[in-house]
Amino acid sequence: MRIALFTETYLPYINGVVTHVKILKEGLEKLGHEVLIVTADASARRHYVKDGVLHCPGARIKRFYNYGVAPPISHRRLQLIEAFHPDIIHIHNEFGIGLSGVMAAKMLKVPLVYTLHTMYDDYLYYISPRPLLGVTKRLSHRYFKFLAKNASALTGPSKKCEEYFHEVGVYKPVTVVPNPVELDMFMPENISEADKTAFRKRYNIDDDVMIACFVGRLGREKSVDVLLEYWAKTMTPQDRIHLIVIGDGPCKEELEEQAKELGISEMVTFTGAIQHDELPPYLASCDIYITASLSDTNSISMLEGMATGLPVLQRLDPLNEDQVRNGVNGYVFNSPEEMAARLRYVKNMSPEQLAILKKSVTHSVMHSGAEDLANYMLTIYHKLYEKA
């Protein structure tokens, strides 16, 4: 099959959607299918195709981490997509490129798949002043409803996506397709002990200190502030448990200030932005992955931690409750006290108990690779292609 994947951002940028699309492309190509990535490129002065990527000129938007955003209408873009002769068009974002995919599918009479990756109600504060949030939410719901109604199939990485579509007034079936992870990159046996030792030395963390880590964009929606509040209420230096926050974002400075005000700076380290290819030894040097976020659908950063063997400690999120199973790949907490108890429980495990848990954690993501994702999607693509 010939599949065109539309995404607002793509390599060299890294975020959850980019990683998902990159792994899907690799999986589809391994299985013998042809893939065209259609993406915005703020550095491009014209539309051009290189190495299977259609670069579309766009403007750099500072509020969106300097990502490029392209206008949805372009005759030249449509010509290049038509020349690819796609059997399926699959959109992964909702802005200029996503809308461009909707229009291309309609004009070329090609089935359209729409994957919702983001719970946008949690992100509206990036684009709308507080007094206008209600109006912005209603307008955004109408727009997402328009996109979904034009799609032949809807997918998302968790049940949250179906709930979101229901909230905007769309009641089509939504197929849950779990997010992927680059298994080879994050498996513990592929990460050197020297790199792990260097990590602890870099951040001056003793060998007998357990490290809990969070990885992600430091925005309000990730609830790192909640994690810090919980930590201040229940953790002490005597616990010998350290929190590492890996990533950057608009809230980084205020989170660092919050840690100081709470008196927990000596128990918390903010690393700032880390390049994705440098992340494996960071994760492998930690002991547990922790998150208080209720905005994620199926966090790829969390899956990357699991691939290195890190059990996940996740704040209770009813629509994602099947992602973390107590004692299998981690534990769920619903209060500061429960968080602290879970952390201490893992810290006090015997080496044998911990080895069994880590093996169970890595086993839980073994079917989350590129070809697994591609096969999930191909079942959907083939059904649509046969109907077309």
Q: Directed axis angle between helix 252-262 and helix 224-234, to 10°? A: 10
Q: Directed axis angle between helix 16-30 and helix 370-387, to 10°? A: 80
* CATH 3.40.50.2000 intervals, the chain: 2-180+369-387, 183-364
Q: Looking at residue 64, what is its pLDDT?
A: 59
Judge whether 183 and 215 are in contact, CB under 8 Å. Answer: no
Cα torsion angle, 58, 60, 63, 66, sign: positive
pTM of the model: 0.91
Edge-first strand order for the sheet with 88-91 is 48-50, 53-57, 34-41, 2-7, 88-91, 112-115, 153-156, 174-176
Helix (H, G, I), strand (E, B) or coil at 159: helix
* CA dihedral angle for residue 190, residue 192, residue 197, residue 202, rounded to 10 degrees: -80
For residue 91, the cross-strand partners are: 6, 114
Q: What is the CATH number of domain 183-364?
A: 3.40.50.2000
Q: Looking at residue 132, what is its pLDDT?
A: 72
Closest CA to 344 of 253, 248, 234: 234
For residue 112, the cross-strand partners are: 89
Q: Looking at residue 66, what is its pLDDT?
A: 60
Q: Directed axis angle between helix 16-30 and helix 300-307, to 10°? A: 60
Closest CA to 30 of 366, 369, 371: 371
Q: Looking at residue 65, what is its pLDDT?
A: 58
pLDDT < 50: residue spans in the chain: none
Q: Looking at residue 332, what is its pLDDT?
A: 96
Judge whether 317 and 158 are in contact, CB under 8 Å. Answer: no
Judge whether 101 and 4 are in contact, CB under 8 Å. Answer: yes
Terminus-to-terminus CA distance in the chain, angstroms? Answer: 13
Judge whether 77 and 47 are in contact, CB under 8 Å. Answer: yes
Q: Looking at residue 154, what is its pLDDT?
A: 98
**Rounded distance between C-alpha atoms, residue 316 and residue 229, angstroms:** 16
**Rounded distance between C-alpha atoms, residue 326 and residue 332, angstroms:** 7
Q: What's phi and psi for 346, nearest 5 deg?
A: -65, -40
In the DSSP assignment, the letter for residue 158 is S
Pairing assessment for the beta strands 112-115 and 48-50 based on DSSP bridges:
unpaired
Assigned token pair, 132: 């206008």
Specify the amino acid at residue 177: V
Judge whether 84 and 4 are in contact, CB under 8 Å. Answer: yes
181: Cβ–Cβ under 8 A, 6 or more apart, which residues? 23, 300, 303, 304, 306, 307, 365, 368, 369
Cβ burial, residue 247 (10 Å; 0-12/13-18/19+): buried
> CATH top-level class for 2-180+369-387?
alpha beta
The CA-based angle 12-8-324, given to 5 degrees, is 80
Helix (H, G, I), strand (E, B) or coil at 318: helix
The CA-based angle 229-231-235, given to 5 degrees, is 145
